[in-house]
């Protein structure tokens, strides 16, 4: 049977402070903020990049479609850089954003990658990689 899924559209992070998280992702990755209303009219926040987004919620976000146990700091995901990884590393250094690990060799969905790992304000692990 062929896969029934094409791609990931968005992920959701539960965070302590939506504004602090938004500022970090703008500074570290150049993401754009989005404000929208959920199905019941509740305010929602997201970070846009390329054809994807990260929705942000805090413990008080009201939505009928929420993880059973939303946990701050449990995110762990990989982003593919749109620039050479060495340029991204220089950007992080200029922004004084520390790298936890890397660069290191890993295996991505399409083959070998070279990665660095960093943490957002809540401790979510963000891997940024380039294919080699």
Q: What is the CATH number of the domain that holds 27?
A: 3.10.180.10
- Confidence (pTM): 0.92
Among candidate residues 26, 32, 93, 127, the one labeled active-site is 127
Q: Quick check: is 30 in a domain?
A: yes
Domain count for the chain, please give it. Answer: 1
127 among known catalytic residues: yes
Residue 2 lies in a domain: no
pLDDT in tens, the chain (132 residues): 788 788 899 999 999 999 999 999 999 999 999 999 877 778 889 999 999 999 999 988 878 788 888 899 999 999 999 999 999 999 999 999 999 999 999 999 999 999 999 999 999 999 999 999
> Is the distance from CB of 57 to CB of 12 less than 8 angstroms?
yes
Domain region containing 96: 10-131
131: left (phi over 0), alpha (psi -120 to 50) or beta: beta
């Amino acid at each position: 049977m062929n896969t029934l899924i094409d791609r990931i559209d968005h992920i959701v992070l539960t965070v302590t402070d939506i504004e602090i998280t938004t500022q970090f992702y703008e500074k570290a990755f150049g993401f754009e903020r989005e404000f929208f209303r959920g199905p019941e009219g509740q305010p929602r926040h997201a970070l846009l990049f390329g054809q994807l987004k990260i929705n942000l919620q805090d413990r008080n976000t009201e939505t009928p479609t929420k993880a059973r146990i939303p946990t701050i700091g449990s995110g762990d995901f990989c982003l593919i850089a749109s620039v050479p990884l060495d340029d991204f590393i220089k950007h992080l250094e200029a922004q004084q954003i520390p790298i936890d690990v890397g660069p290191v060799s890993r295996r991505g969905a399409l083959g070998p990658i070279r990665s660095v790992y960093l943490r957002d304000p809540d401790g979510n692990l963000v891997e940024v990689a380039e294919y080699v």
